[in-house]
Amino acid sequence: MQIFQKRRSSAQGFTLPDFIFVVIVLCTLVTVGFLGVGAYHEAKKTEDAKKYGEDLSAWLTEASKERFKNDYAHGPCAGGKPPAHVSAETAPVDVPPPVATEVLAHAEDANVNVNANTNASVEPLAQDEPPPGTWGACLKYLLTETDFKAVINTYSGKPPQFIPACNPADHSLAGEIFMEKMVPTPAGSAVPVVNSPFDVADPIDQKLQLRLSVCDKGAYPLKIAEFEF
């Protein structure tokens, strides 16, 4: 004799615990989706920053092959000509009136006689127009007369700035460009090269070995390329 046991059917249907479970699953999926989209956009910003860093290093590398020729098309970035220095006699003309007033006020307070012909060391004021033959003149040309004038820092929405160093303590530097000049040391030195920031006042009349980096999301330097300019 066979005995069949019937299963007891659930009469409760879709219960409150089932509803809570479904809600938790949906919230988890939505959260993962938002995190994935955010991670994608952040990665896209980093890749865009790397792209314009690669484009710039490629442009400067290509320029190193031609910029010492007499008919070089991009004159402000040409090599072979030493920088044109600003004469010390014309410096007072370039002093903005507010700065000149402040300097004279401090001089009177300290009872100091101001003599324009003294040999005292005075830090030069920033000029609106960088002297020809310097990186500043070439950089200004790149950012105003070439395709790089349309480049935008995807982190800030503004044109990328050339900064002296990436600083993880300052996240506002994300996407900015950091360039170093690499100067070889004498043979036998423990350090083969010495790196220093590539400043706007640095001359470009000779061949230069440069390193270009871009600050990533955390403002850490992301090395792009080392090249000759």
At 30 the pLDDT is 84
Three-state DSSP class for 213? strand
- Residue 114 is predicted with a pLDDT of 33
Residue with tokens 């871009």: 214
CA dihedral 196, 144, 155, 221 (to 10 degrees): -10
- 11 lies in some domain: no
| pLDDT single digits (tens) 1-18 | 555 555 555 556 778 888
Domain carrying residue 107: 86-117+125-130
Q: Determine the pLDDT at residue 10.
A: 54
Beta bridge partners of 163: 178
Is residue 79 domain-resident? yes
Phi, psi of 223 (to 5 degrees): -65, 130
Which token pair is 202? 């640095």
Residues 179 and 207 occupy one common structural domain:
yes
Asked if residue 172 and residue 153 are part of one domain, the reply reads yes
Q: Is 165 in the same domain as 72?
A: yes
The reported pTM is 0.63
Lowest mean pLDDT among 29-33, 50-54, 155-159: 29-33
What are the CA-CA distances from residue 10 to residues 33, 43, 107 (Å)?
A: 35, 50, 95
Q: How far apart are CA 124 and CA 122, in angstroms?
A: 6
- Domain check: are 73 and 100 in the same one? no
- Dist. CA 109–CA 100, nearest whole Å: 14
Instruction: Flag whether 218 is in a domain.
Output: yes
Sign of CA pseudo-dihedral 87, 89, 90, 93:
positive
How many structural domains are present in the chain? 2
Residues 187 and 207 in one domain: yes
196 shares its domain with 143: yes
Angle 118-119-120 from CA coordinates, rounded to 5°: 95
Give 87-143 pLDDT, tens digit per residue: 434 333 343 444 334 433 443 443 433 333 334 333 443 446 788 899 999 999 999
Q: How confident is the model at residue 60 (pLDDT cuts 50, 70, 90)?
A: very high
In this structure, is residue 146 part of a structural domain?
yes
Mean pLDDT of 151-160: 89
The segment with the largest mean pLDDT, out of 28-32, 65-69, 93-97, is: 65-69
Q: Name the residue type at position 200.
A: V
Residue 178 lies in a domain: yes
> Is residue 29 one of the residues assigned to a domain?
no
Same domain, 112 and 140: no
**In whole numbers, what is the pLDDT of the chain averaged over residues?**
77
Between CA 209 and CA 195 the distance in angstroms is 10
161 φ, ψ (degrees, to nearest 5): -100, 150
Asked whether residue 85 carries a pLDDT value surpassing 80, the answer given is no
Give 97-106 contacts, CB < 8 A, sequence gap 24+.
99/125
91 plus 179 within the same structural domain:
no
Same-domain check for residues 144 and 96: no
Same domain, 79 and 183: yes
Instruction: Please answer whether residues 200 and 143 qualify as being in contact, where contact means their C-beta atoms are separated by less than 8 angstroms.
Output: no
Same domain, 164 and 215: yes
Q: Is residue 181 part of a domain?
A: yes
Are 178 and 225 members of one domain?
Answer: yes
Q: How far apart are CA 23 and CA 47, in angstroms?
A: 36
- Residue 168: pLDDT band (50, 70, 90) is very high
